[in-house]
Structure 1
Amino acid sequence: MKKLYLLDDAIISPLGFSTKENIQSIREGNSGLKLQQRPEITENPFFAGIIDETLLNQAFSEIGSSEKFTKLEKLIILAVKLILNKNRNLDPTKTALIIATTKGNIDLLNEPGGFPINRLKLSELGKVVANFFGFAQTPIIVSNACISGGLGLAVARRLGNSEKIKNAIVVGADLVSDFVISGFNSFQALSTKACKPFSKDRDGISLGEAAAAIMVSTEKPEISNVISLIGDASANDANHISGPSRTGEGLYKSIQKALKEASISAEEIGFLSAHGTATVYNDEMESMAFQRSALQKSPLHSLKGFYGHTLGASALIESIITKHSMLNNEIFASKNFEELGVSKPLNVIQKNEKKEIRYALKTASGFGGCNLALVFKAEKQ
């Protein structure tokens, strides 16, 4: 399998409208989660990371007319534009566009805002973004629950390996819509506090919205330090439509296959970016999969305490942060973690540290039993 090189990236979230701003906020321990009230959906307040649409429209007004696009479309277009700004010579007619999302424009069901009903379709979302920039190829839509953003990277790598593409922009995005809030509320999964992944007193997730984009290529760039994706695998545990495997089987298989493809052992993983949603069952499942994979000693964090669960964007955002952690030799604390609350031992990062990382593992899991593992390698001179 060919390597996939991770090049320029962009993150738009409540923490900032660039990767640099996002990383600085994480470094300083600042969270984008705030207390929200939606009495028409749930009587209990909950924490979520929601992007101020006024700020979004101000930023978008520099490149387009805000009223012509939905909030999600604006997020995606802004993220892609940041990538293109750094790659002025990139030809959109020869570059693949991969869009990862869980629910797309689902918010239009409640508030259509004058947009035609077909804008609900993920295929239409892809057309809107592609037409804005002049991408000639039909966008590839990846929608596989909460592994979608990371799976977009795996799809790009596999298309590159088959020589169908050389360069691609992978973008992931989702919103905190009424549909999403009511769905997780029906599971009684929303925490009344900012989420606390892997902690003993965790009681559910915090939601979030964001967009992330990254330029990738199968051709190694002419720079001295670069991060590459060298192993990827996904497996479905077929356990339940929403509940994860009680043994971590699907995630375990994903990790094993990704490590095998990367030709490295678990002991070589210097850092692990976990899914870490802070629900009782997800965190427990992950601890089992990590223990079965001999990863219990690897430094680990979840970024959900900063962003909340951004659904289809989450695994891509977390992969981008992992990339910069490897380039900058630093790993970040798992925000809101206190006392370990899973049955298997984990080495949860409790303070920011300087650490050289040669190999890192990113994992993600989602509804329907889907699981993903990505192995990254730092290639430095």
Structure 2
Amino acid sequence: MRKVYLSYHELITAYGMGSQKTVEAIQQEQSGIHQANYFDRHTAPFVSSQIDRAMLEASFQELHPSKEYTRLEKILICSLDTVIKASKLKLNDRVGLIIATTKGNIDVLDTEHPFPKSRAYLTEMARAVSDFFSFTTEPIVLSNACVSGALALAIAKGYIQQQKFDHVFVVAGDLVTPFTVSGFTSFQAMSAQPCKPYSEDRDGITLGEAGACVLVTSDRERTNGTSVELIGEASCNDANHISGPSRTGEGLFRSITKAMRQAEIRTEDLGFISAHGTATVFNDEMESIAFHRAGLSEIPLHSLKGYLGHSLGASSLVETIAGMHSLKKNTLFRSLGFAKLGTSKPLAVIEQTTPKKMQTFLKTASGFGGCNTALVFQQLADES
């Protein structure tokens, strides 16, 4: 079976352009969450993590676009451009493209948006991004709520091991829009303050936006210092409710145990868990139950949403890239916003950024519709 690696990568977040800026801010425990610009007079006050518009526009114009693109497409294109150039790959029929997003160009449905409403179709968005780089293969769109980014990595692994592709560029992105704000507000799930995953005083999510891209490859020669091997992955739908997670954590529990079995590692070998941690009452409770059932209650754990908010389909890819750096730096990143444990089952929440020698980590993601994904990553052995 072919080995699969995550190699060159890029992040675009509220911290700026480039993975290093985001990772350094997280390591320094700096929040990227700020008071949001209100969309209209009907929008209640909220905080969020948003990409600077002027910075994005300046970076995009450096690529000399020949036509107009939506804001999300610009984020995806800028993310991809960095990774494609770093990889030096020719975009032939052995190179795939997966675009992960929850809502895509949902903002074009706003009344005064300049783009045609058809641009909200995910296929239209994907074609615009793919054509910018002249990919020869058909772009694949993966939209499965908030596990989209993580699931895209698992799908890329499958394509490579089935020898459909040798390399797959996985790019993910989502925006903070009136649609998403109003949706979560209607669930009474929005926190007025930066979110506090797993904390007793948590009261809801903070929305965020981000772009992320990584090269998934079978070529060991195309790896670098932060590269990891994807050694286990699994997904399971608990079929509980359209928006509510299973009270028993069944889907996440099954995803974790299957991914760990595939990875052939023991629970005590895990360096840390990069969890979903949205800071809603039900999600965090569900995760604590699933981790407890999987025997992971004592494994160091964090949620990065206290830094970047919840960027929906992009969040798990953003957090995976941060996890790659965590392994490389042998550093556990603090779970920002956590004060006192507020779940029924114990969790080893990381309360301060701490050095730790480690080789593996587990990334989990959960989302609306009962979807759950678990991925196990391992540092590359020195072949010199």
TM-score bracket, shorter-length normalisation: over 0.9
- Give SS of 1:86's match: helix
Of 282-291 and 22-31, more deviation after overlay is shown by 22-31
- The C-alpha deviation readout for 1:246-270, integer Å capped at 9, x for no partner, is 0100000000110111111222211
Q: Unpaired runs of 5+ in structure 1? A: none
Residue 321 of structure 2 aligns to which amino acid in structure 1? I
**Secondary structure, aligned partner of 1:149:** helix
Residues in 1 aligned to 2:206 and 2:88: alpha-carbon distance in whole angstroms: 37
- The CA deviation at 1:87 is 2.3
Look up the match of 1:281: 282
Task: Using the TM superposition, give the Cα deviation of residue 325 of structure 1 relative to its aligned residue in structure 2, in angstroms.
Answer: 1.0
TM-score (norm 1): 0.96
1:141-186 CA-to-partner distances (Å, cap 9, x unmatched) read 1000000001110000011111101101100100001111010000
* Offset of residue 222 of structure 1: 6.3
Partner letter of residue 194 of structure 1?
P
Residue pairs, 1:148-187, within 5 angstroms: 148-187=148-187
**Alignment check: 8 A CA contact 2:6 2:223 kept:** no
Structure 2 counterpart of 1:300, which letter? L
> Which residue number corresponds to residue 319 of structure 1?
320
Q: Quick one: distance in 2 between partners of 1:176 and 1:64?
A: 26
1:44 aligned to 2:44?
yes
Question: Structure 1 92/45 Cα, relative in aligned 2: closer, same or farther at 3 Å?
Answer: farther
The Cα of 1:89 is off from its aligned counterpart by: 4.3
RMSD after superposition: 1.6
Where do 1:193-272 residues align within 5 Å?
193-221=193-221, 226-272=227-273
- In the TM superposition, residue 311 of structure 1 has moved relative to its aligned partner by 0.3
- Match status 1:13 vs 2:24: no
Separation (CA, whole Å) in 1 of partners of 2:87 and 2:34: 35
Q: Which amino acid aligns with 2:50?
A: I
Q: If the length of structure 2 is used for normalisation, what is the TM-score?
A: 0.96
Question: How far is 1:271 from its partner?
Answer: 0.7
| C-alpha spacing 1:282/1:151, structure 2 compared with 1 (3 Å) | same
Decide whether aligned partners of structure 1 residues 81 and 111 sit closer, same or farther in structure 2, where only a CA change above 3 A counts. farther
Q: Is the contact made by 2:8 and 2:224 (CA closer than 8 Å) also made in structure 1?
A: no
Please state whether the residue corresponding to 2:87 is helix, strand or coil: coil
- Sort the Cα spacing of 1:358 and 1:136 in 2 relative to 1 into closer, same or farther, 3 A: same
Say which SS state the counterpart of residue 23 (structure 1) adopts: helix
1:336 aligns with 337
CA offset at residue 290 of structure 1? 0.3
The alpha-carbon deviation at position 43 of structure 1 amounts to: 5.3
Q: Contact between 2:102 and 2:144, CA under 8 Å: does it hold in 1?
A: yes
Which segment is superposed worse, 326-335 or 146-155? 326-335
The 3-state SS of whatever aligns with 1:215 is strand
In structure 2, C-alpha distance between the alignment counterparts of 1:131 and 1:54, rounded to whole Å: 24
Distance change in 2, residues 1:372/1:222 (3 Å)? closer
Correspondence 1:145 to 2:142? no
AA in 1 matched with 2:298: K
- Deviation digits for residues 106-143 of structure 1 (CA, Å, limit 9, x no counterpart): 00011553322221110111110110001010101100
Task: Kindly state the Cα deviation for residue 221 of structure 1 after the two structures are TM-superposed.
Answer: 2.4
Q: Is the 8 A contact 1:44 1:192 kept in 2?
A: no
Q: SS at the partner of 1:107?
A: helix
Q: Measure, in 2, the Cα distance between the counterparts of 1:188 and 1:5.
A: 40
What secondary structure is seen at the aligned counterpart in 1 of 2:261?
A: helix
Distance change in 2, residues 1:164/1:45 (3 Å): same
Partner of 2:355: 354
Q: What's the CA shift for 1:190?
A: 0.3
Structure 1 counterpart SS, 2:168: strand
One-letter amino acid matched to 2:377:
F
Query: What's the offset of the Cα at 1:29?
Result: 1.3
Stretch deviating more after TM superposition (262-271 or 314-323)? 262-271
* Residues 196 and 170 of structure 1: CA distance in aligned 2, closer, same or farther (over 3 Å): same
2:95 match: 95
Q: Which residue of 2 aligns with 1:30?
A: 30
- Partners of 1:168 and 1:57 in 2: CA distance: 26
2:101 corresponds to 1:78: no
Other structure's SS at 2:221 match: coil
Query: Is 1:190 aligned to 2:198, yes or no?
Result: no
Q: Which amino acid aligns with 1:273?
A: S
Secondary structure of the residue aligned to 2:16 is: coil
**CA distance, structure 2, for counterparts of residue 278 and residue 364 of structure 1:** 13
Matched with 2:369 is 368
The one-letter code matched in structure 2 to 1:142 is L
